Structure 1
């Protein structure tokens, strides 16, 4: 019953026109008056911000803020996989032979997530990692590995919540929300970086130009809190034993390694 109620409620509030309205609000000069309270409520770390808080003129400017170049260190080991975002490790595990993975007891189809069976086949029996970004987090996305960008494409329109309630009672947010997928071919591994929009927020902007990208380089940004899903091929990725579900991770921090016999 609670699942039906929850879905009915968010079906009324996740439509594109509401996303557009929210986008206009956050980009409006009038939204600047909300910055002090937003900063306080979400406990933003103003010491890490590239600019003083007074120089952010809209909420959108604040959401998409950059950090000082000295506050994140990118691990340079060629076999490490780094976190692409600041966030919380929400889930990790194996992609099954039938091309699904399980989050909070719910099956997700990677064919539906990626939109193409041929692409999804690459990741059968591989690993997945999900990192959730709250409104308090830094919203820019960086690449977990160095390599060649093979392709990028977008799918979906509406966006359901990707927080704990959304995962438990929503309508398969990881495979139905608006999302932008980027496939990257590295020297030692191949992966997909899936950027998933959150409720009200279909703003995922790609910022990188060109085919090659270096580990830790910015690739895109979210306009609000959201989620990234990392997909790895079979026998190519091992999650670090030091990283646990529910743990905070930072951009540049190693979260796993490329399987050395790959």
Structure 2
């Protein structure tokens, strides 16, 4: 048995939410010596480039989470043409949605309906469209931005597990992104419907949006849908949310996308980079 498969298997019995909430409490610690030690160790371990940060002083952040979701300098991520990468990370998969299925990894597919919390009507909007999945590693910038300008129509919280979403788990845990806790954000754009799914993961302490603040964790329960009578409009490249520790963004478009030449699964991308065009 490979180490990757073993790593995936040992996650099944773990208390995902308990571990994640404990880490979340540590990440919100305001004791100066402790939070500064955590931040400095993290910078060394993951070779974080603080020259990109709006505030490059590691000790200036009130908590580890404030450091982790740090703002970048205004010119750190210039916007390209067409559809933008919403985040820094690895473009793990991108392709047409064939028969309502998304590619998770080699040999693994999952349905758009499952990803969207069992909403078949919403899933049908993306038949014939395209999707892209971006994995944010711990060393990446962890704010998520709009690939297109759009108006939020509905936000859906879907409860679930909190498996790791790294490559090893993605390759060995079926339906991973449709199993994990996630936040589904539906938008109307000039190119038709677009959905952005912020997927929770092991030790991800919380997911936030710019319009509602911290959303996860929520008390145990079923799918929760929130519609917005007052339009929430976000411009192309604007921040829409953030992860407190790393995870994954899955986005889907109702129209087919011609992805940029030279992109391959696993390619490193940055927020604002052009991924392609309709």
Considering the TM-score relative to the shorter chain, is it more than 0.5?
Answer: yes
Change (3 A) 1:21 1:218: same
* 2:84 is equivalent to residue 82 of structure 1: yes
How far the C-alpha of 1:11 sits from its partner, in A, is: 2.1
40-49 vs 144-153, greater mean Cα deviation = 144-153
Report the equivalent of 1:45.
49
Q: Deviations over 1:56-95 (max 9, x none)?
A: 23221111111011211123x5xx1101101111111121
How far the C-alpha of 1:12 sits from its partner, in A, is: 3.1
Q: Deviations over 1:29-78 (max 9, x none)?
A: 23331111110110101100111222123221111111011211123x5x
Q: CA separation in 1, counterparts of 2:101 and 2:144? A: 25
Structure 2, unaligned stretches of length 5 or more? Answer: 213-230
2-11 vs 163-172, greater mean Cα deviation = 2-11
Residue of 239, 243, 249 corresponding to 2:259: 239
* 2:75 is equivalent to residue 73 of structure 1: no
Report the equivalent of 2:178.
175
Find the residue that maps to 1:141 and give its secondary structure: strand
Query: What value does the CA root-mean-square deviation take over the aligned residues?
Result: 1.8
How far the C-alpha of 1:5 sits from its partner, in A, is: 4.6
Report the equivalent of 2:241.
220
Report the equivalent of 2:274.
254
- TM-score, with structure 1 as normaliser: 0.90
Report the equivalent of 1:113.
115
How far the C-alpha of 1:233 sits from its partner, in A, is: 1.5
How far the C-alpha of 1:25 sits from its partner, in A, is: 0.7
Residue of 211, 218, 230 corresponding to 2:232: 211
How far the C-alpha of 1:171 sits from its partner, in A, is: 4.3
Find the residue that maps to 1:231 and give its secondary structure: strand
Report the equivalent of 1:20.
21
226-235 vs 19-28, greater mean Cα deviation = 226-235
